[in-house]
Structure 1
Amino acid sequence: MPGVQTPTLRDVAEAAGVHAATASRALNPATRGLVNADTARRVIKVAESLGYRPNPMARGLKTAKSGTVGLVIPDLTNPLFPPIVRGIEEVLEPAGYSGLIVNTDNDPGREQNQVELLRSRQVEGLIVATALVDHPLLEKLHRERVLMVMVNRRPDGIDVPSITPDDATGVALAVRHLADLGHRRIAHVAGPSNTSTGVVRARAFRSTIRDLGLDDDPRLTATCDHWSEAAGAEALRGMLDADLGFTAVVAGNDLIALGCYDVFAERGMSCPEDMSVVGFNDMPFLDKLRPPLTTIAIPHQQIGAEAARLLLDAIAEPERPARSVLLPLALVVRGSTAPPPA
């Protein structure tokens, strides 16, 4: 018995009564807008009824485009990245693109290998979410004219589009909230100093402390080696052991804040009666903690969507000047902050 013939684009075009080029445009989300809406709907319906499946590889050979972009993520276990990826996919999919995700584990060697893997797959550009201050790989990719968009940071000395939350204003909101409650000695458990996010937030903390005339004591900043619960706990233990007399903590991010909660439990401290805490990021489920965590909310899904739009713009017009977008943040007050103990 002869095999069932796979329907071709020509079959779809004939059945829909259109030219093959029109059928091709109607079936490609990136070019569908060039076709009359009724015609596009008719072609799609015919394609479905015939069981036609477009061949993206064949399309790529014709256009020298793969329809894929690479997403370079530093730590997939960090809850802030899935909503960013969701936002990216929301914009890529209607444009006919898909994303290939690689996880670098914050390891420069692994990152280099993963990026080379993406480039061997002919991705048309990269969305990079790593935040190392010293980043020779980015400089190399920029020199080689790889299209890139940075997420969560603006790289120094590299003119590429970026989408970043307004971290400095976010930290100022956190410190001001604690000051309004009456706290004078506020500690900062800072993120790693080899990441631009950690550096920007720590700098903004010291600057706001001075602006508000609070106790400006360098010993009240402890820097974590990692953006993690364990690192946050270790840093806070050291500060409590030094007996510095602080009554509130601004954590570098929510994971570090969770480490502070662990130390309160170890030492029989009550939050917020003995110590107030503010996180940063507004990860999922923070409202389920006891007490629910006051934090700075970042619109992660919007960041992903904006990053994808910037990259699609760069793919469409590689010579256009790099554009940077700064997104506003909001303070979310929950149960982990209160006036200092009397």
Structure 2
Amino acid sequence: MAKTSESRATSRVTIREVALHASVNASTVSRALNPATRHLIGDEVVRRVLASAKSLGYRQNKLASALRGGQSRVVGVCLPDIENPVFPPIVCGIEEELAAVGYGVLIANTVGTLKDQERMLEQMLERQVDGLVLATAARHDPLVRRCILDGIPVVLVNRAEEGGQVPEVINDDFLSMRLAVDHLVELGHKRIAHLAGPERLATGLSRIQGFQMATQQHRLSGTVILEAAEFTREAGRVACDQLLKEHKSVTAIIAANDLIALGCYDVFAAQHLTCPNDISLIGHNDMPLLDMLHPPLTSLRIQHREMGRQAARLLLGMIAAPGAAPHRITLPPELMVRGSTAAPRNTPLRTRTSKTAPASAE
């Protein structure tokens, strides 16, 4: 007797029930529902099976069938801050590449303590993911080591880990800082500051090193590096306020990311400084809507979507051929020059006054 819609809502319809409804055997149903084997049976039978499956509300258990083949065809993606505009393009690139070969994506926002992150990793593994893409890595990361020890395929994206033990896809941060410094020097700036990200993260350290190398190449002596506590707007606000109190002669700032740069806009507004008339500013990442700021923010455009695609390709390669040597892909950035950079004035910050509306990050 056919199941009612109420009974079907509480129990999964089986292939045998579809076969009975369509008056065929179970193996025929399996072939008809699989695009790879559908050609082995007649079109009329395929139509009848599909109609029966739809009528009964049958849904394939893709996870169970994949696990019978030894894989879930699901990849875990771990993000450090899902609200940061940097990460959605990375996830889109990962999803596009994986969807093309029939893989799904499970996304986790990893915040909190190391124990919280370890719990998240366990939950990913309990769901039988075939591998992981981590955008969360610190320079010395215990989760990466755990994956290595357990033989879990893992690829790092956006952030690297010291040692190069796993594949990674990153931006060329040294080139980023060289482009930024070159641009400011061409405008005539000599007293340039870098509001850095935290050194515990590879992106923080590499951008510091890139800034040092670029300023040394130009033989600049009046440079300043001040580390922000996090890659956030609030941390940028605190760091910029400290910078302008302690180094009043600075004429330009290179922020380690756009969120830190937004914190600088807040400080400029509070101190009635105009950008770029009083001080120039460069961000990093070129996240969406920077052209809507006043003034529009000059920033380093990072290939985040391509990062995601490349990371997915590396992970698929690891899943298909375990044991391959780690591979690093470094993508070049592009400097997007907008209204927040200009030639410096000759007067230091302590004597500058503003006659126009202050810059705003809103």
TM-score by length of 2: 0.83
The runs of at least 4 consecutive aligned structure 1 residues that moved more than 6 Å come to 12-15, 18-21, 35-39, 41-47
**CA-to-partner distance for each residue in 1:162-204, whole Å, 9 max, x for gaps?**
1111111011111111111110110000001111110000110
Partner residue, 2:260: 256
Contact 1:297 1:332 in 2 (8 A): yes
Distance 1:155 1:46, change over 3 A: farther
Aligned partner of 1:3: which letter? K
**CA RMSD of the aligned region, Å?**
2.8
Could you say which residue in structure 1 is the equivalent of 2:191? 185
Q: Structure 1 residue 329 and structure 2 residue 336: aligned? A: no
CA distance in structure 2 between the aligned counterparts of 1:322 and 1:110, rounded to whole angstroms: 27
Larger radius of gyration: 2
Give the length in aligned residue pairs.
331
SS of the equivalent of 2:253 reads strand
Alpha-carbon contact 1:74-1:104 (below 8 Å) kept: yes
For 1:44 and 1:190, locate their aligned partners in 2 and report how far apart those are by CA, in whole Å: 61
Could you tell me how far apart the structure 2 residues matched to 1:256 and 1:111 are? 25
Gap regions ≥5 residues in structure 2: 347-362
Query: Could you report, residue by residue, the CA deviation over 1:199-247 in whole angstroms, capped at 9, with x for unpaired residues?
Result: 0001100110000122254xx1110111111111111111111144110
Letter in 2 for 1:255: L
Aligned-pair CA distance for 1:21: 7.2
Alignment correspondent of 2:358 = none
Q: Does 1:203 align with 2:209?
A: yes
| Aligned equivalent of 1:279 | 283
The reply to whether residue 245 of structure 1 matches residue 252 of structure 2 is no
> What is the aligned partner in structure 2 of residue 8 from structure 1?
15
> 1:198–1:252: 8 Å Cα contact kept in structure 2?
yes
How far, CA to CA, are the matches of 2:241 and 2:331 in structure 1? 34
**Distance of 1:169 and 1:43 partners within structure 2:** 60
Of 124, 128, 132, which residue of structure 2 is paired with 1:126?
132
CA-CA distance at 1:153 after TM superposition: 2.7
Q: Answer whether contact 1:131 1:197 (CA < 8 A) is retained.
A: no
Q: Which residue among 224, 234, 246 is the counterpart of 2:228?
A: 224
User: Does residue 1:304 correspond to 2:308, yes or no?
Assistant: yes
Q: Is the 8 A contact 1:13 1:23 kept in 2?
A: no
User: Displacement, 1:7?
Assistant: 7.4
1:152 aligns with 2:140: no
Question: Percent identity over the alignment?
Answer: 39
CA distance in 2, matches of 1:46, 1:299: 47
Partner secondary structure for residue 100 of structure 2:
helix
Contact 1:161 1:323 in 2 (8 A): yes
| Alignment partner, residue 29 of structure 1 | none
CA distance in 1 between counterparts of 2:172 and 2:221 reads 24
The whole-number CA distance in structure 2 between the counterparts of 1:90 and 1:334 is 31
Scaled by the length of structure 1, the TM-score of the pair is 0.88
- More displaced 10-residue stretch of structure 1: 66-75 or 289-298: 66-75
Structure 1: 5+ residue runs without aligned partners? 27-31
Given that residues 290 and 296 in structure 2 are in contact (C-alpha distance below 8 angstroms), is that contact kept between their aligned partners in structure 1? yes
Q: Say if 1:253 and 1:281, in contact at 8 Å, map to a contact too.
A: yes
